[in-house]
Amino acid sequence: MGRAGRAAGLGGRTGRAVAVVLLALAPTAAADVYRSDGPGGTPLFTDTPTDPGCRLVIRTEPPRVPWREAVERTAPRHGLDPLLVRAVIRVESAENPRAVSPKGAVGLMQLMPQTARELGVLDPYHPRDNVQGGMAYLARLLDRYDGNLALALAAYNAGPAAVDRYGGVPPYPETQRFVDRVLGLYRRAKGVDLQGANVDTTQPDNGRE
């Protein structure tokens, strides 16, 4: 009996099949693996258990994502909630560090080249550099609009000039969808109502740099 067969507690063709299933599910999918017994006691393995009789046989750790660690570690230094930053990233780029918008915004937080230069971002495609710059810019906008999250998000999307010109969220469908989507994701992540005009996004005992 080979090593994989011994690990599964089975031999022969069944053991080899189980080993293939475990190798396919566990190392690459980064998901927990569950076992249930099929007809005749045949072992069945899955990473999406639906049978009440499923038992956990392999627990895997989620993959490390360096930019997420940077967000968790440094967002509070900018006075930002990491959940808010992650909501912006999700809506802006779907967490794709190579994303490029039709207008030329790039990276996770979709920085325009001029904005990236102003923020000192050397490589806007580098995930950690990009989120550092994006967080600094979002914090700057929150300061400009006295903590009004809706206005800061609108300015992040359409530019401060548009927000100032209209005296509020501009009547641009793209900008309105952006603000609504970010607030929706952030609201669900925090489990609170964020419909008010001003939303406290600061972290206790952490001022913006």
Decide if 92 is catalytic.
yes
Tell me which residue has tokens 């992650």. Answer: 86
The tokens of 42 are what? Answer: 């045949």
b/e sequence 123-152, b meaning 16+ C-beta within 10 Å = ebbbbbbbbbbbbbbbbbbbeebebbbbbb
Residues 6 or more apart from 68 whose CB is under 8 A from it? 86
- Of 92, 95, 174, 209, the catalytic one is 92
Residues 6 or more apart from 35 whose CB is under 8 A from it? 43, 44, 45, 54, 55, 57
Residues with catalytic roles: 92
